[in-house]
Chains A and B, each alone.
Chain A
Amino acid sequence: ETGVTQTPRHLVMGMTNKKSLKCEQHLGHNAMYWYKQSAKKPLELMFVYSLEERVENNSVPSRFSPECPNSSHLFLHLHTLQPEDSALYLCASSPTSGLASTDTQYFGPGTRLTVL
């Protein structure tokens, strides 16, 4: 399997549930990202990992907890979410984390999360 994959594709959870989103990239990239896409809002960067170390946390609430066990896998652990957290969560990867013409981000298909 090639590219960036995300599971599950759809998730419905209650506010007291604990769930995890998974992202896997098969591109040999060193940087991975979590984004949140809400309706009528620009895409929001949540977390950046470079070589398995978190290098950016964009003031995301603590109910979102990322984990990057290796350069190919990225998780987003969800706990006591709110209905306003319902959104499309996109994972992306790039060869490096820096400004260059080759540092295009490749996105996964996203997980559509609904919090009841």
Chain B
Amino acid sequence: AQKITQTQPGMFVQEKEAVTLDCTYDTSDQSYGLFWYKQPSSGEMIFLIYQGSYDEQNATEGRYSLNFQKARKSANLVISASQLGDSAMYFCAMESGGSYIPTFGRGTSLIVHP
């Protein structure tokens, strides 16, 4: 069985500072993929970043980077230089075992203060 855990229900960060959103996962599969999505108050889900289990380097997409620690089964999202528009819910998700059915965490609400 797959499981995604996001232990931070809410996070606050000052504008222009970096913030780390935690995500741990559990799977017995060797091949899996980890995703982060952003959900603004409008409700839509926006894909941010992807990390494959066999990728040797941490994924980066602009201000987003994924701190992938395979032995610890963690895939934390790091947002550098936070902006007010980053205020949203952030979801960690995983696909594994050849299944196209992702498992999502409960999400973390991020609020960026000016």
Contacts and interface: CB of A to CB of B under 8 A. Distances in A.
Question: Which secondary structure characterizes the binding site on chain A?
Answer: loop
Given A43-B91, A99-B96, A104 B43 contact: no
A76 interface: no
Nearest to B97: A99
A92 interface: yes
B91 A108 contact: no
A109 B44 contact: yes
Most chain A beta-carbon neighbours within 10 Å: one of B47, B93, B97, B103 = B47
B45 A107 contact: yes
Interface in A64-116: 88, 90, 92, 94, 96-101, 103-110, 112
A31 interface: yes
Interface band, chain A: 20 to 34
Interface in A30-45: 31, 40-43, 45
Interface string B89-101: 0010101111111
Interface residues of B, number: 29
Contact of B100 (A41, A42, A48, A109): A48
Contacts of A53: none
Given A31-B100, A99-B96, A99-B100, A90 B33 contact: no
B52 A101 contact: yes
Nearest to A3: B44
B88 to A, nearest CB: 13
Interface of A: 31, 40-43, 45, 48, 50, 56, 58, 88, 90, 92, 94, 96-101, 103-110, 112
16 contacts: A31-B100, A40-B106, A42-B103, A42-B104, A42-B105, A43-B104, A50-B100, A90-B45, A99-B99, A101-B50, A103-B100, A105-B35, A107-B44, A107-B47, A108-B44, A109-B43
